[in-house]
Structure 1
Amino acid sequence: MFPTHRPRRLRTHPQLRRMVRETVLTTSDLIYPLFAVPGEGIANEVKSMPGVYQLSVDKIVEEAKEVYDLGIPSIILFGIPADKDVDATGAWHDCGIVQKAATAVKAAVPDLIVIADTCLCEYTSHGHCGYLQVGDLTGRVLNDPTLELLKKTAVSQAKAGADIIAPSGMMDGFVQAIRQGLDEAGFQDTPILSYAAKYASGYYGPFRDAADSTPQFGDRRTYQMDPGNAREAIKEIELDIAEGADMLMVKPALAYMDIIWRVKEASNLPVAAYNVSGEYAMVKAAALNGWIDEERVVMETLTGFKRAGADLILTYHAKDAARWLK
């Protein structure tokens, strides 16, 4: 009882606070997302995401070198192709934009871990994550035919040099299909980071500007999870683990810290949290208006993800966070 117990004793000095800190964020926790586009010398800033750019492959390589020099161990690549079609050809073609970017980055920065986002929405003419029933304007994706596209995409990305395959389409059985495809192609050692609990969220808006992936009609609620569901997330991760996932992701992160915690408690696999575009954009907008201290808010948020159980954090703040950590 007071005055015997005085918790403030351990808060009296910055070094003492550092010594007893329970959760410590490091650059090794961070993954930086990058958007690859065709062309050369291109750096188009995404209007809704200040400081984030669509980059041609040569600029992606420059960015990858900077990321590595900052001590960030990994990037994740998203692609915006020149042309789109119903077969998502740009996703799985050997000359696809992500394939080109992965090969170039691995040649320039061999020790940087390259994760390939394995989804189809950026590459389909309708903006959905797979095949649609002809004439269907609801956005209901045909699950099993789409698995074949995802399998081809994953193998193509691995051939191009991707170190980790990250399927994000939330198709039933997608981890098993991709694992089978990778193994048959000789990529038994390529891990799968599954977007195991990906919610149909309003926080994705700026990403769709960056990746040019807004659905032309309907929405993605028939395959992404309902924001009100938590038990379903555990069901999804259990299925993905059984199908061969090596790591699990929760997306978004900020409104889903309880899900990060539940997934961490229910699994012994590494857990990633995706600090998504809308979360980033809100912080940047408030900071640019002088309403918040950007560094304090970002570092507090990223630490919160880790405290909730995230082993890895995908964030557009990664470069800034790495500088602040140094």
Structure 2
Amino acid sequence: MFPIHRPRRLRSHPQLRRMVRENVLTTSDLIYPLFAVPGEAIANEVKSMPGVYQLSVDKIVEEAKEVYDLGIPAIILFGIPEDKDSDATGAWHDCGIVQKATTAVKEAVPDLIVIVDTCLCEYTSHGHCGYLEVGDLTGRVLNDPTLELLKKTAVSQVKAGADIIAPSGMMDGFVQAIRSGLDEAGYQDTPILSYAAKYASAYYGPFRDAADSTPQFGDRRTYQMDSGNSREALREIELDITEGADMLMVKPALSYMDIIWRVKEASNLPVAAYNVSGEYSMVKAAALNGWIDEERVVMETLTGFKRAGADLILTYHAKDAARWLAKLGN
């Protein structure tokens, strides 16, 4: 007895496989992260992230032009200030490094969407995402006073030209605080992409090299989520939606595809997945050793995020992926 159903019939030809493909990755799905530092003509490669650089504003503009020419619609900016303090002054100052980079990019490439990471860990002397009690060495951030800093930071970033605010500190009520701050300042139309489900993950290690944001003591487990929890992610997104989030992010992505799926199923909002530094660096290390086919692994992984429900993907592979997609005609 021959089987009546033969799924292989639809796999027999490359064009046929393309016609019936359920999830298709395009450059419109991609967001490219960039790290801004003070100075001029600076491009410092991050040792733990081959191909990723800390860039001065002039170099950020060059990168932004290349990203736009590749068809990638957006970047997300992170900043490494010259000086750090307990008030995270560099995060909200009108002359902060991210503010300067944002203005420069919008002047040079006005149609490129600039997302800004709205967090404080890169700007505080202790490396945590907000105010600490004096003498506290546990890393337990004071939630409500930190909200005021985040409001000031978001308003300053939008004044500089940011198109989207992306708060990542996982403070309770941060979406509502930022939304009210933006509205009061006349920026009612600025969307918020909330890091709604951000886990306390070992996959962030290389990013902390890139952003110079390693905590000086303690860790971030008192405010980032525990990796064993999934129902908690749904509670977090529900709160952020109620507070006015326009888009939701899951971070990291690779070990949390189930969370991406659950968030997508539970929400009508666009869902972003952050393909984080550790995920990127593992692929790069294996590829440099000749252990894997980098292009195939990257494209399979990014497509997996789409299949899990991601509408947007923040990834350090974005430029390479855009070139590979261009070869395929996508």
Band the TM-score falls in, shorter-chain normalisation: over 0.9
Q: Distance in 2 between matches of 1:185 and 1:43?
A: 35
- Matched position secondary structure for 2:25: coil
Superposition deviation, residue 5 in structure 1: 1.1
In the aligned structure 1, how far is the partner of 2:310 from the partner of 2:24? 12
Counterpart-to-counterpart distance in 1, 2:204 and 2:4: 50
Q: Structure 2: where are the runs of 5+ without partners?
A: 325-329
Mapped to 2, the partners of 1:161 and 1:243 lie a distance apart of 23
For residues 100-249 of structure 1, the aligned pairs below 5 Å read 100-249=100-249
- In 1, the alpha carbon distance for the partners of 2:267 and 2:136 equals 37
Shift of 1:4: 1.9
In structure 2, what is the Cα distance between the partners aligned to 1:183 and 1:2?
A: 66
What is the CA-CA distance between 1:287 and the residue it aligns to? 0.1
Q: SS at 1:125's partner residue? A: coil
Cα 1:198–1:2 shift into 2, 3 Å: farther
Give the secondary-structure state (helix, strand or coil) at the position aligned to 2:238. Answer: helix
Cα deviation code 1:38-87 (max 9, x no counterpart) = 00000000000000000000000000000000000000000000000000
Alpha-carbon distance, 1:108 to partner: 0.3
1:284 matched to 2:287: no
Deviations 1:236-276 (A, max 9, x none): 00000000000000000000000000000000000000000
Q: Which position in structure 2 is the counterpart of 1:313?
A: 313
CA–CA separation in structure 2 for the residues paired with 1:177 and 1:217: 27
- Residue 52 of structure 1 is matched in structure 2 by 52
Deviations 1:4-25 (A, max 9, x none): 2111111110000000000000
1:79 and 2:72 aligned: no
Alpha-carbon offset, residue 298 of structure 1: 0.1
Report the counterpart of residue 96 of structure 1 in structure 2: 96
Equivalent residue pairs, number: 325
Deviations 1:83-108 (A, max 9, x none): 00000000000000000000000000
Q: Distance between the aligned counterparts of 1:36 and 1:91, measured in 2?
A: 12
1:273-299 C-alpha deviation (Å, 9 max, x unpaired)? 000000000000000000000000000
Whole-Å separation in 2 of the counterparts to 1:2 and 1:127: 65
Q: TM-score scaled to structure 2, two decimals?
A: 0.98
Separation in structure 1 between the aligned mates of residue 51 and residue 229 of structure 2, nearest angstrom: 33
> Could you tell me how far apart the structure 1 residues matched to 2:171 and 2:251 are?
15
Deviation string, structure 1 residues 112-151 (Cα, Å, up to 9, x no partner) = 0000000000000000000000111000000000000000
CA distance in 2, matches of 1:13, 1:241: 44
Cα distance change, pair 92–4 in 1 and its aligned pair in 2 (3 A): same
CA distance in 2, matches of 1:190, 1:237: 19
Deviation at 1:2, TM superposition (A): 4.1
State the Cα distance separating 1:3 from its structure 2 match. Answer: 2.5
User: For the residues of structure 2 that align with 1:238 and 1:20, how far apart are their CA atoms?
Assistant: 34
Q: In structure 1, what is the equivalent of residue 27 of structure 2?
A: 27
Query: How many Å separate the matches in 2 of 1:182 and 1:201?
Result: 30
- Deviation sequence 1:157-191 (CA, Å, 0-9, x none): 00000000000000000000000000000100000
C-alpha distance in 1 between matches for 2:84 and 2:75? 24
Query: What's the CA shift for 1:317?
Result: 0.1
Q: CA RMSD in A?
A: 0.7
Secondary structure (helix, strand or coil) at the match of 1:303 reads helix
Task: Report the secondary structure of 2:90's partner residue.
Answer: helix
How far apart are the structure 2 equivalents of 1:71 and 1:307? 22
CA distance in 2, matches of 1:200, 1:153: 23
Tell me how far apart the structure 2 counterparts of residues 219 and 104 of structure 1 sit (CA, whole Å). 34
Distance 2:181 2:114 in 1: 19
Q: Matched residues in 2 for 1:13 and 1:227: separation? A: 41
